[in-house]
Chains A and B, each alone.
Chain A
Amino acid sequence: MTAHILVVEDDESFVEELKQIIADSGGPALPIFVTNRDDAVAKLESNFFDFAILDLKIPTALGTTDFDPEHGKYVFFHIRKVSPGTKILVLTGSPSDDFIAPLLVQKHDADIWSEGAKIDTIEFLKKIELDQAPEKISRVVSAIHALSDIELHTNGLNLSTGEDRLIRIFAKHFKADGLDGSRSRHLGAKM
């Protein structure tokens, strides 16, 4: 199961490192990289994302220099609005900055990919601790990859990535709860 990842980062050095980290994450992943607010919003309108890695201090559009954490915050709340199930990893210079507080309010625990344990839906990572990023990203990619354990017979039905993901998560949840397969089969999932 391929992890769909949106990376919003304008710093070329960070982009290169994140590419490498995602490539080494131990599972299939399809990252899309954007450098600014408008491109991030456009991608969110047209694509499904399991996971977003978000730098807050970004410009509004390609080629502009109006870097401001407000633009990253805008993308953050847009993700929460259009794709509330997408886990977000916020990269920041200082998690105690004033603009972080309203983001923290959105933070809660959930078992997003039916791993049997709750995880943070929103995480913060200080850029100086970027060496912790491989572990955090790898954990997400592995959790999504583990959804491949659920065999899904669509019988020709063309499901979107989001619908496919939802059925597998739902089926895995029942499997984790120890229920028999009959109920899952009604959903079209075979375990």
Chain B
Amino acid sequence: MTREEALDNLKAHSAHVRGLAARALGDVGRRSDLPRLRKVQREETVTYVNYALQETIRRLTHEQAPAPSTDEADVVSDDVRKQIYGKAMEWITGFLLHEISSPIGLVRLAAKRELGERWEGSGTQKHLESVTRVFDAIEVLKNAASVPRPQEFDLSALVDELLDDYGPEIREWISTIGARPFVIKSDPSLVRMVAVNGIRNAVEAQQAASELQNSHAVTISWGDSDVDYWLAVMDHGAGLTGPIETAFEVGNSTKKDHIGFGLSIARQAVETMIGSLTLEPAKQGGALYTARWRK
């Protein structure tokens, strides 16, 4: 679909055609299309088309103005770019795990032996355990970039399983909306990475909020369109401050004792499934975390 056709199809009667056009503009659109896309998004009533428009607006907003290319073959689609990025991520995380973590293992062993009884509670132990936690996260990040292994499973059961990790005092202010069972064909370990992060962030944001919790303080919803699946987590916490995109970068966290890999892992997992992850202010305060990935 050309840019002109996509812009034209945004007015189509069929939601399916509008959705395809919105997605295509993520690849072929220009920054100059943003005012028009924003206007269309404000008026769009079909949820998944609206999400696709949001994603396209996000992409075009954050896209650097490309340098003039002297080579026609230099044009790389966003999907291909994401795949290359995923491959690079898998390679570099694999390199770190195999080549860098081994000497750290030797350091841990030598430190424990040399410190003897002073190892427990020592600064050396504390800092080496931080390093180990980072490597655990790197391993998850590597898995998030690995080739998906799709299989049929019940997304609603997966959400329930993840919620089982929280006590009743937390569960009482989390509600779920979606079909049960909701059997999908995706990589369950990648979907788990996406869901676990969204739920954890929402629960922590809600816990940090001073106001009294109600039964819908955190809402987890899921569903599908004709082309993709989606999972959304909304909270009524303090919401987002500062530029949202930086929250997705590895190592960025505002929370104490967090190593800041969660959103990077979740975004990588959803991009491995050919999808997108967005974090945005919710309409009534708090944050809305939305993952969409291809069927």
Give A contacts to B, CB under 8 Å: 11, 13-14, 17, 57, 93-94, 96-98, 126-131, 133-134
Distance in Å: Cβ of B211 to nearest Cβ of chain A: 40
Collect the chain B residues with CB atoms within 8 Å of residue A131's CB: 105, 108-109, 112
Instruction: Report whether A17 and B109 are in contact in the complex, using a CB–CB cutoff of 8 Å.
Output: yes
Q: How far is the CA of A85 from the CA of B105 in the complex (A)?
A: 29
CB of B101 closer than 8 Å to a CB of A: yes
Q: List 27 A-B contacts (CB under 8 A).
A: A13-B103, A13-B106, A14-B102, A17-B106, A17-B109, A57-B98, A93-B102, A94-B98, A96-B143, A97-B94, A98-B146, A126-B105, A127-B101, A127-B102, A127-B105, A128-B101, A128-B102, A128-B104, A128-B132, A128-B135, A129-B105, A129-B108, A129-B132, A130-B109, A131-B105, A131-B108, A133-B109
Distance in Å: Cβ of A133 to nearest Cβ of chain B: 7
Q: How far is the CA of A98 from the CA of B147 in the complex (A)?
A: 10
Collect the chain A residues with CB atoms within 8 Å of residue B163's CB: none
How would you classify the secondary structure of chain B's contact residues: helix, strand, loop or mixed? helix
Query: How many residue pairs between the two chains, A and B, have CB atoms under 8 Å in the bound complex?
Result: 50
> Which B195-230 residues have C-beta < 8 A from chain A?
none
CB of B292 closer than 8 Å to a CB of A: no
Instruction: Report whether B101 and A93 are in contact in the complex, using a CB–CB cutoff of 8 Å.
Output: yes
Collect the chain A residues with CB atoms within 8 Å of residue B106's CB: 13-14, 17, 130
CB of B139 closer than 8 Å to a CB of A: yes
Number of residues on chain B facing chain A (CB within 8 A): 20
Q: Which of A11, A17, A128 has the most CB of B within 10 A?
A: A128
Q: How far is the CA of A127 from the CA of B108 in the complex (A)?
A: 10
CB of B23 closer than 8 Å to a CB of A: no
Give 5 closest A-B pairs by Cβ, nearest first: A93-B98, A130-B105, A128-B101, A127-B102, A93-B97
Instruction: Report whether A11 and B102 are in contact in the complex, using a CB–CB cutoff of 8 Å.
Output: yes
Distance in Å: Cβ of B114 to nearest Cβ of chain A: 11
Known: A17-B109, A130-B106, A134-B109. 19 other contacts (CB 8 A): A13-B103, A13-B106, A14-B106, A57-B98, A93-B97, A93-B98, A94-B94, A94-B97, A94-B98, A94-B142, A126-B101, A126-B105, A127-B102, A127-B105, A128-B101, A128-B102, A128-B108, A130-B105, A131-B108
How would you classify the secondary structure of chain A's contact residues: helix, strand, loop or mixed? helix
Collect the chain A residues with CB atoms within 8 Å of residue B109's CB: 17, 130-131, 133-134
Closest B residue to A69 using CB positions: B98
Collect the chain B residues with CB atoms within 8 Å of residue A134's CB: 109
Collect the chain B residues with CB atoms within 8 Å of residue A11's CB: 102
Q: How far is the CA of A93 from the CA of B98 in the complex (A)?
A: 4
Distance in Å: Cβ of B147 to nearest Cβ of chain A: 8
Distance in Å: Cβ of B121 to nearest Cβ of chain A: 15
Closest A residue to B132 using CB positions: A128
Q: How far is the CA of A93 from the CA of B142 in the complex (A)?
A: 12
Distance in Å: Cβ of A86 to nearest Cβ of chain B: 24
Task: Return the CB mask of B111-145 against A: 1 if under 8 Å, else 0.
Answer: 01000000000000000000010010001001100
Collect the chain A residues with CB atoms within 8 Å of residue B104's CB: 128
Q: How far is the CA of A150 from the CA of B195 in the complex (A)?
A: 55
Distance in Å: Cβ of A49 to nearest Cβ of chain B: 23
Collect the chain A residues with CB atoms within 8 Å of residue B108's CB: 128-131
